[in-house]
Amino acid sequence: MDISSLAAAAGTFPDLASAAAYCERHQIPFSWLYKSRKGIRLRKPEPKKKKKKPAPTGQAGFDFGRAAEARAYAGKQAAKLERLKSRAAKKQAEAAALFERSRAATQHIPMGQPILVGHHSEKKHRGAIKRSDAAMRKHIKATKEADRLAARARAVEASTAVSSDDPEAVKQIKQKIADLEKSNARNKQINAAMRAAKREAKKTGRDELDIATEKLAAIGVGASLVAAIMEPDFAGRMGVPSYRLKNTSAEIRRLKKRLEQIANTEQQEGREQTIGGVHVIQEDNRVRIHFPGKPDEATRAKLKGEGFRWARSEGAWQRHASERAWWLAEQIARAYES
């Protein structure tokens, strides 16, 4: 057994003397000792992280580091898509095999053949039906899982959502905000033209639709769009509905708030805290909790209930970074050490 395993298996010591004796017996460095609320424990110190050097920039200010991160993210998304498609195909093949097994289980029984109660074939007949039913139920379950995975793959492929993990997230959100603001300004301009046409029609006696068509064409609205704008809705209203303007404004406010959240998360990147034997750190847009060993069932249930998932590659429980995620991590760590 190596030193790390011996340290993990040591548990809690009642006093410093027994802990020191254990370290001396197994040749474990005394620097691994630390004091927790439960007593003296052993833990291998975390290696010091090297400070990241600023990414080099090109002659025109091109950020090579950012470009590398963008390529890595694109590769990660492509791998995720390929993984989902592969899993869906595997489940579909499994479902097809189960269907064939269900069919083969009763293939030797003639169509419509009843169970001959008391006959020597009764037991085999009932067994064949039972095996066929079990295989069919598994087939249905596998088919549903294959459909679910295929739907996830299609969603990833067709998604236009901006992930906070994307290095270009801020740029993309700013572009969305600019497009929405431009669209809102255009829609307000259209409604202003419609109101002006109504006022002019009352003054001059001309047809309101003719005046509105002229004014919309003057601000560059195409003929096909003019026809749609001039089409009255169920309440007889023309132009861009007010609810659309309100919804667009609400989406702009939401995106601006999200920009603030991303900026705040980036500022908090790298913060860490040790509570007893539990290490909490924020990195890679995740809040991660490193326990000294496998947490008990109640702690695991709490972690899952609060959105944390076990990441084998990191050896930690993690969820997307946010102020709430950090607060929850602290609370879980304190509850574990109490």
User: Angle 274-275-278 (CA atoms, 0-180°, nearest 5)?
Assistant: 75
Domain ranges, ordered by start, for the chain? 3-42, 71-158, 169-246, 270-337
How many alpha carbons fall within 13 Å on the CB side of residue 252?
15
Residue partners of 203: CB distance under 8 A and separation at least 6: none
pLDDT in tens, 119-169: 999 999 999 999 999 999 999 999 999 999 999 999 888 887 887 777 788
Q: Above 80 in pLDDT, residue 24?
A: no
Distance between CA atoms of 162 and 158, rounded to whole angstroms?
12
Q: Above 70 in pLDDT, residue 265?
A: yes
Distance between CA atoms of 238 and 229, rounded to whole angstroms?
6
pLDDT category of residue 267 using cuts at 50, 70 and 90: confident
pLDDT category of residue 118 using cuts at 50, 70 and 90: very high
Distance between CA atoms of 316 and 323, rounded to whole angstroms?
19
pTM of the model: 0.56
Distance between CA atoms of 312 and 309, rounded to whole angstroms?
10
User: Angle 292-311-1 (CA atoms, 0-180°, nearest 5)?
Assistant: 45
DSSP string, 180-201: HHHHHHHHHHHHHHHHHHHHHH
Between 19 and 278, the higher pLDDT residue: 278
Distance between CA atoms of 27 and 13, rounded to whole angstroms?
16
Q: Are the C-beta atoms of 252 and 180 separated by less than 8 Å? A: yes
pLDDT in tens, 70-91: 677 777 888 888 999 999 999 9
Three-state DSSP at 283 gives strand
pLDDT in tens, 287-308: 999 998 899 999 999 999 999 9
R_g of the chain computed on alpha carbons = 33
| Maximum mean pLDDT: which of 1-10, 55-64, 228-237 | 228-237
What length does the chain have?
A: 338
Measure CA of the first residue to CA of the last residue in the chain; give whole Å. Answer: 30
